[in-house]
Each structure stands twice: as structure tokens, then as C-alpha cells.
A and B are shown apart, each in its own frame.
Chain A
Amino acid sequence: MTIATRELRASYAFVQRNFNLTKRYWGWEVAWLVYSLAAAVAVAFIGVAQDDPDLLQVLVIGTIFWNYLSIVFGFIGETVTWERWEGTLEYTFMAPVRRYTQLVGSTFFAVAYALIQMLIILGAMIFFFDLEFSGGNFVTAGVFILLGSLSFVGVGMMAAILPLLYVERGDQMVFVIQSIILLFSGVYYTTDVLPEWMQFVSQFSPGTYVLEGVRGGLIHGQSVTELLHNVWPLVIMGVVLIPIGVKVFGIAERYAKRTGKLKRVG
């Protein structure tokens, strides 16, 4: 057996496991999907209430793509919490699996899961609202989804360290990070409406660039080359944050093994 085959099988194990868990927790999956749908549609109705088609487009894109990005972030960021809660953390960490291998499998599933949910919400939006994206550049939107996924995986990997280090409060910290990204990234508004200091902070959130890029593509029909100022920060974040995330996760794992924090709690 080659190393590549072994690593591929290990990566696929995470995809298969997450698929099986999604199947077994189908009741919760339906509940979360209904909640996400209701939340997205409810927010978009604000645009209808204001009788403002531009605002409607901003809100629709914000809700759909934030839902996608937050799912990818959540899957990666809550990996440790999830396993700790199930009681399988020690088993998974004892297995001969490299963290990159685990990350590839987890990311593949997270992206597939988030894409399916995004398409369902998009379908609901088209059903409820008279959306007009005929001049939109869907290639641009696709590129920003891909780049956004990578950068959010990097941020998620950094966040995943917290439940490893702080057994009791780590999960809450991940939730706070997700909330802060939501606030600063211009999900339901463009970031230029934020106070100056918040606009400064928003430069460090990958969400800002993803949402600006997708809006530029779908609303204004801009190509990727026209939006390079939003592309390169995402490329840098993806290229830098993923290896740093894996490295720092490794350091945190070693710390957890030194202090006994891998041991099941609760």
C-alpha cells in the first residue's frame, strides 16, 4: 500500500464518517436547514419592505454566502469540540493520521455540505423574490467561493485550537470569533457604512473580500481581474493561514498531550 493510498483512505474516512453522522442526525439537519432558510428569507424581506431592489440583492447575497462560509468555518473550527462531545477525540488522535489528511477530508465534506445548503437557500430566494442577476458574472462568484473556502478553512483551523486548549470555554470562544467575523465582514451591509475603526478591522476578515467579490460579480457583472484587490488578500490568507493553522494546531496538540487535555471531559 502506498503512502498516498493510505492517506487518501484516511481522508475519505472523515468524509464518510461526517456523511453517516449527517444521515443519523437527519432530524437536526432538517431543523438547521429550516432555521437557515427562515433566517435568510426573513432578512431579505427587509429589502422588500424598503422597496429597494439594490438592498434586496445585497441582503440576499450576504445571507446566502455568509451561511456557506459560516458552515465551512464551523465544521473546521468545531472539529475538536464535536469529537470531545462524542467521546472519540482520543481515538481519532491515537490513529496514525496526519492533521493535513484530516483537514482535507473535513474540508471536502464541509464544502460539499455547505454548497448543497447554499443551493437550497438560493432556490428558496428565487421562489420568494424577483431576483435579477441576469448580468451577473457567475465565474467570479465561483472563484470567490473557492478562495473564500480556503481562507475560512485557515481561520477555522486556528479557531479549532481553542477547544483543544480550553476544554470548558473553547467552544464558546469559537462562537465569539464567528460572531465577530459576521459583524465586521459586511454581511448585511457594505463595510463602508461602518465606523472608521471597524472598517480598519474589517480588512483582516476574509469575509469582507469574499462578500465584496461576490457582490461585484453578481450585481455589477465584474470579472475576477477587475476584482484583483479582493482576490489577493484571500489568496494570501489561504496560503498563509492554512499551513500556519496546521502548524499551530500541532503545537496545541502537543501541549494538550503534555497537560492531559485530550482526555475526555463531560
Chain B
Amino acid sequence: MIELQEPTTSVTRRAERTPNERAAARVGPPPAGEQPAMLLEHATKRFIVGRRKKSVVAVNDVSVSIRRGEIYGILGANGSGKSTLIRLISTLLTLDGGRIEVHGHDVERDEMAVKRLINRVSVDAAFFKKLSPLENLAYAAGLYGLEPKSARAQAISILARLGIGEKRLKRPLEQMSRGMQQKVAIARALLTSPTVLLLDEPTTGLDPRSKLDVQTFIEEVRDTHDATIVLTTHDLAEAERLCDRIALINDGRIVAEDTPEALKSMVAELHGQEPTLESVFMTFTGRSLDDDHDDDKTDDED
């Protein structure tokens, strides 16, 4: 069983509650007095781009409160600010305005404490590709100060749960499929027992089988451990399956936020649209997923 680190304040482990209690406890913003797992208040990030030094607002006045144990989805087109938001929470970018707290720790003032509580899986599995999964995970364990022997046993156990057998553990990662690499990335993140797990498009580019494996594993983490998960994705079915609440982000702003069911009902009632997440996406971002793919091409060409 994967051992996740307790947050700094005492909590009841999710596994000790019934599924209904867990579901009820995680949906919606935290009630008054309950410390959120993550709090963003007016978070703003600008970049200066191009030769003309144009200022672009990547994240614009975003305020979000996420409950402990919640899976919070962020949907948006390419370039909408999803990954920037994840990087701000990960301490990889500094804020230009507002603040972000993880379990009460400010990401700027208390950076090291936040780093110990979080981990991130990015769309591109960032590894030393010549090293094996075990060597990469040993490096990760060392960086987080884990005891080498128990970390190794833990790594083997998590990788086995994700379908990566012992015979693959010593082969270079570059010889593994992208799906396998992404599973190793998730294993690496879980190894450090984060209380907040940031999943930035973790299933993008995976084949259906690998995608299903990863999604099932995320559900297992949600159901058995006290981890809060922030998930960005382009896969609407995935968002619907996994997320307790979804925020739609467009041009750096959160334009809608609620449970998947409530968002679907909203577009059906107010706009007479089909009660699907695709309708929700198109209504709030003003574009279809096909437009999004066209943007991909344009980005590549640029």
C-alpha cells in the first residue's frame, strides 16, 4: 500500500471513511473555518514576450479554494493558463500579484515547506532517459530525503501496482513507451508522499489502455489516501470521471467553476445546450476541441 505523508495539521485518513462520506466531504469549497488544502487569492502572472516586449497576462486574478481530498479539474484550451497555474503552485514561477497557500503555507514565503508537500507530474515525463526507472526513483527519493532501502521497496511496489514488472526496472527509460514513462512519472510523484498532487495533463498522448490504467490509479489514490489532486486535462471524459469539481479557464481567467453535473445542468438550462462537458467547454471558452487542435498546429509552426 502506498504510504502518503500526513499534512501538517491532523486529518482523518480518507480510507477510514465510507465512500459516501468521502464524496460528501470533498465536494465544494471548504466551509468556513476549515483550512483548504490549497488556496489561491487573486493569483496573477504576466510574461513579457516577443521582441516588442509585450506584456501577456497568463494567469489573471484567479481565486480558488480546494478542499482536502478533492480532485479539482482545470479545463482550458492550449495557452489558456493551465500549466502556468500549476507552475505557480509548484514554486517554479513567482507570482506578480495575489497569493497561493498550500495547507496554510505561502508558496513564496515558505517555499521549502510547500515543496515538501507537493509533487507534480507534467505532460512531458521529465526524466534522465538513460537511467532506469529505479535509478530515477532513487534520485527522487534522495532529493526528498527518504531512507534509501525503504524508498526502493516502496518504488518497486508502486511500479508493480502500475503494471511495471521487475524485469523492466533496470532498463533505461528511453526504451520504454511513453505510456510506461508516464506511469513511472506518477510513481515517482507518489513515492515522495505528496499531500497535494499536481497532474498536468498526465494522460495526454497515452494509448487508451495506458490512459485507463493511469485514471484507475488516480481514483485509487483518491479513494485510499488523503491526497488532494489538481488535474489539468484536455480529455473531457477523464475530467468527468475523475473530478469532484471543474474550473474552466480561458485567457488566464476562471470563467466557470462547479461540479461536472452542475456545469452540465447550467449550460442545458441557461443556453439550451446538450448537457455534456463538451457543451460546457464550448460555452465557456468559446471554442471547440477541434479549434484547440488547430492551435496545436499553429504553435508548432511558430
Report which A residues bind B (CB closer than 8 A): 1, 5-7, 9-10, 12-14, 16-17, 20-21, 24-25, 86-88, 90-98, 254, 257-260, 262-264
Evaluate whether A96 and B142 lie within 8 angstroms (CB atoms) in the complex, with A20-B131, A86-B129, A260-B47 already known. no
Query: Closest CB-CB distance, A81 to chain B, in whole Å?
Result: 14
**Complex alpha-carbon distance, A25 and B130, angstroms:** 8
Interface size on B, residues (CB 8 A): 36
Could you mark each residue 116-159 of chain B with 1 if its beta carbon is under 8 Å from any beta carbon of chain A, else 0? 10111010101111110001001111111111100000000000
Whether B145 lies near A93 (C-beta < 8 A) is no
Evaluate whether A259 and B48 lie within 8 angstroms (CB atoms) in the complex, with A13-B142, A24-B131, A93-B92 already known. yes
Whether B116 lies near A96 (C-beta < 8 A) is yes
13 additional A-B residue pairs with CB within 8 Å, beyond A9-B146, A16-B142, A17-B135: A1-B147, A9-B145, A10-B145, A13-B141, A13-B143, A21-B130, A24-B130, A24-B131, A86-B129, A93-B92, A94-B91, A98-B112, A263-B87
**Complex alpha-carbon distance, A15 and B144, angstroms:** 15
B178 contacts the other chain (CB 8 A): no
Residues of B within 8 A of A1 (CB): 145, 147
In the complex, the chain A residue whose C-beta lies closest to that of B146 is: A9
CB-contact partner of B127 in A6, A10, A87, A98, under 8 A? A87
Query: Closest CB-CB distance, B148 to chain A, in whole Å?
Result: 7
In the complex, the chain B residue whose C-beta lies closest to that of A98 is: B112
Report which B residues bind A (CB closer than 8 A): 47-48, 84, 87, 90-94, 112, 115-116, 118-120, 122, 124, 126-131, 135, 138-148, 172
CB-contact partner of B93 in A7, A21, A260, A264, under 8 A? A260
In the complex, the chain A residue whose C-beta lies closest to that of B139 is: A17
Whether A88 lies near B128 (C-beta < 8 A) is yes
Q: What are 12 A-B contacts defined by CB distance under 8 Å? A: A12-B142, A13-B138, A14-B142, A21-B128, A94-B92, A94-B115, A95-B140, A254-B94, A258-B93, A259-B48, A260-B87, A263-B92
The 9 closest A-B pairs by CB, nearest first: A13-B142, A6-B145, A96-B115, A95-B143, A24-B130, A17-B139, A87-B126, A20-B135, A96-B116
